[in-house]
Structure 1
Amino acid sequence: MTKQILISALTFGAIVLGTNNVQAQNTTATTTVNITLNDVISIDAGSTAIGNTVDFNYVTAADYNSDQTITKANSLKVTSTKNFNVKVKAGGANFMNGTNLIPVNVLTIKAATAAGTMGGTKSAVVLSATDQTLVSNAPLGSALTLNLDYTIPAAKSSSSDILGKPAGTYTQTVTYTATAL
């Protein structure tokens, strides 16, 4: 019996003394994440003003005696990390057909009634060969759209600016510039 007590005591002692508290080990690693930002302003692909045309056709007397408006959706799509302005100008003082000329000021460009997602103060611009502000202080954003109305008013199409000119297609480029503030 003493042998059993001794074995029991040794077993109990071994269990009590042989048990260690096991603790979870931990280790940490730290990494640095950098986000580098650059100022960006872009007239993005998908802007219909890039490589597109606006065609006015004067076929009947009614065409010459009424306002002609062509609306271009997504004329400009701008991404900017800062507020910005949009300016517009013609590539010269006249629409040209060989030596025949129509002054560019027959055309007015303005934001369409459904102007798109671009904010800011929008102005109607009578086209000229110098930069004019179309949108001022537009808030920063990504892929902001501006739908534009191109209008030749009847007062211009029924005047000597257009009447009496030789038939044909008169052409001029229009340049839009977005500038961060």
Structure 2
Amino acid sequence: MKKQIVIAALALGAFVFGTTNAQAQTGTSSTPVSTAVNIILSDVISIDAGSVATGGFVNFNYSTTADYNTAKNETVANSLKITSSRNFDVKVKAEGANFVNPTHSDVIPVDVLQVKAVTGGTMVGTLNDITLSTADQILVSDATLGAERTLDIDYSISATKAKTVLLGKAPGTYTQNVTYTATAQ
């Protein structure tokens, strides 16, 4: 029994000693702690989904004599939608030297087509008018960085080219892919 009294006294002493030393911090504020928050950035540039040029097409129909005697122009709004963390250039080129028709041996040189960056979208930079070729050419230079910058593009064939290059070719659809590339500066 003596042992039980001693154990009980020790337990009571430990309880009292533990609660009297476990006091709350006094004062009006606690000791501050801090956490480092990191924001890790990388340069990005992309031609975004939603660009009309992605899988799009432009048709020039020549079915009457008047068609061959007038210039034709097709404006495609939001042709490109680009997000870039730096100023950038937009380049354009044809994937081949000619518009081709798989059922005819006739070809149409790609320089029949003018490609022009036009105002109307949200892209700000130097907008250029180029004659299509297989070499990369700058369609927009020094475009301002930003998210979802849109570019409207005019495609045109002059009346002169229609009369001298298109007239007399075998009927049918002639196709060539036009490729756009955005390059950060």
TM range (shorter): 0.7 to 0.9
Q: In the aligned structure 1, how far is the partner of 2:122 from the partner of 2:142?
A: 14
* Percent of aligned pairs with the same amino acid: 57
2:109 is aligned, of 93, 96, 103, to: 103
Residue number in structure 1 paired with 2:8: none
TM-score by length of 2: 0.82
- Alpha-carbon distance, 1:88 to partner: 0.3
Deviations 1:10-43 (A, max 9, x none): xxxxxxxxxxxx7434232211110000010100
Matched residue, 1:17: none
Q: Does the Cα contact within 8 Å between 1:88 and 1:134 map onto a contact in 2?
A: yes
Matching residue within 35, 52, 57 for 2:56 = 52
Aligned equivalent of 2:127, options 122, 137, 141: 122
8 Å CA contact 1:107–1:127 kept in 2: the answer is yes
**Over 2 Å off, 4+ runs:** 22-29
TM-score of the aligned structures, taking structure 1 as reference length: 0.84
Gaps of 5+ in 2: 1-25
Aligned with residue 175 of structure 1, among 175, 179, 185: 179
Q: 2:66 and 2:35 mapped to 1: Cα distance?
A: 72
SS in 2 for 1:37: coil
- Find the residue that maps to 1:78 and give its secondary structure: strand
Q: What SS class does the counterpart of residue 166 from structure 2 fall into? A: coil
Q: Which residue of 2 aligns with 1:70?
A: 74
5+ residue gaps, structure 1, are 1-21
Report the counterpart of residue 83 of structure 1 in structure 2: 87
Instruction: Supply the RMSD in Å over aligned alpha carbons.
Output: 1.2
Partners of 1:115 and 1:148 within 8 A in 2: no
**Secondary structure at 1:179 match in 2:** strand
